Each structure stands twice: as C-alpha cells, then as structure tokens.
Amino acid sequence: MKIIPALDIIDGKCVRLSQGDYNTQKIYNENPLEVAQQLEGAGLQYLHLVDLDGAKAQKVVNYKVLETIASKTRLHIDFGGGLKSSQDLKIAFESGAQQITGGSIAVAQPEVFLQWLGEYGPEKILLGADCKNRMIATHGWLKQAGWEVLDFIKTYEKQGVTQVVCTDIAKDGMLEGPSFGLYEEILKETSVQLIASGGIASLEDLKKLKEMGCEAAILGKAIYEGTLSLTQLASVC
C-alpha cells in the first residue's frame, strides 16, 4: 500500500484543517518545500498537494508551490484544488503534477471531467469522492452536492475511472481513525483502486486499510502533530 503524505496549502503555507473548516486552519510550516524535502529525505515517494485557496477561488492559485516542489524533489505529486477548467489542468501538469484529483468538477461539469479522463487516461485523472454523511461535498467542502458517495463512485467507474480518493469529512483532521465501514463497502461494491483519506492516526489504522485492500492511504495531521513519525511511515511503504 502506498503511503501518501498530504500538504494542504493556504497563502503559500503548509496548513491543516479539521473537518474541512477553514476557520480551524493551523499553520505547520511557512515553507512547503522544506516539508516536501523532509518527506523525501525520509524515503517517502508520494505527495498529495491540495490548493485550498484554489478550491475556494474556483481556479488554481498555488501553482508556484507545486512548481517549486516538483522541480526540487522527485516526489510523485497528485494535485487537487481549484481544477475547474482545461486551463487549470494544463497549469497543473505543466507545473509538475503527475496526477490530478478532480472532485467538484466531476459534480458540476461531468462532461469536462470525462473529457479529461479520455484525453489523459485514468492513470493521471483521479476521482475525488469527498463526503459528509455519505453525501458528496464540493468547492473545498463548503457545499454539498446531491450525490450519495457510493452511487457517485459507481457512476464514474462505469465511465472509466479506476482510481478514487475518498475522504469522510467528519473524520478528516480528527485523528480518531478513518471511515473503515465506508471503505469496506466501496471495496465490496466496486473494483476501483481506493485511496483512503481522513482520520488516519496510527500504524494499526494503516495496517487495517492495507488488509482491507486499499491501494493507498493519504494522511497529514498525524505527521504534523507527531502521532506518526516519518521513519514509521517509511517502514510501512
């Protein structure tokens, strides 16, 4: 199972939120590159980079952070947040992203998301299925769509999606464990490669996700709060 640290960016700084609430932001480092280099130095290979300013602004904002990390590390970067147009997508890939995660775009403009999927392939275009009370949330988790999460994933699997990043917003940043029941259901009902995100707090959480069959796990606050060390994470990879 891949271990994927998350870097959430506001005003060019590395932050974390609790349950997606922008009012709970805590700055962990004003230099995201420094954090990325620490991750790489510990032996980690992947990074989930989220432009929270972009998610709110409905366009890519922090692409310079992406560009800097991509040019100064060898991390495999999945980028999300504010990807609302083909120009945004172009900026992301030209700035060094190897993959992108599209969530709000898949809800608001499915034809655009499917165009991206057809043009770039399911290896590069991941579906973001972030939910609260099983309902898909969009626009930096500030709005709720009328999609039930499992129906959402199944619909896009039929359209060619193979990789899904799923976050239970109620778990995110709480360090109380991920949404195992929801992930078990997704793995049982679909054949997607599931990337679990939100609430991961221990090696036991990671072990259980791996045993369940998750393709990867994204975690952030557990790293920045020191609940899990980079050495521990590198040993799981």
Which residues are registered as beta bridge partners of 196? 166, 217
The two beta strands, 2-10 and 13-18, are antiparallel
168, 180 contact by CB (below 8 A): no
Q: Is the separation of the CB atoms in 127 and 102 below 8 Å?
A: yes
Q: Decide if 168 is catalytic.
A: no
Q: HEC string of 153-207? A: HHHHHHCCCCEEEEEECCCCCCCCCCCHHHHHHHHHHCCCEEEEECCCCCHHHHH
Q: Which residue has the tokens 């359209």?
A: 159
- Catalytically annotated residue among 88, 130, 168, 205: 130
The pair of structure tokens assigned to 60 is: 């890519």
**Residue pair 81/104 in contact by the 8 Å Cβ criterion:** no
Is 8 designated active site? yes
Q: Which residues are catalytic?
A: 8, 130
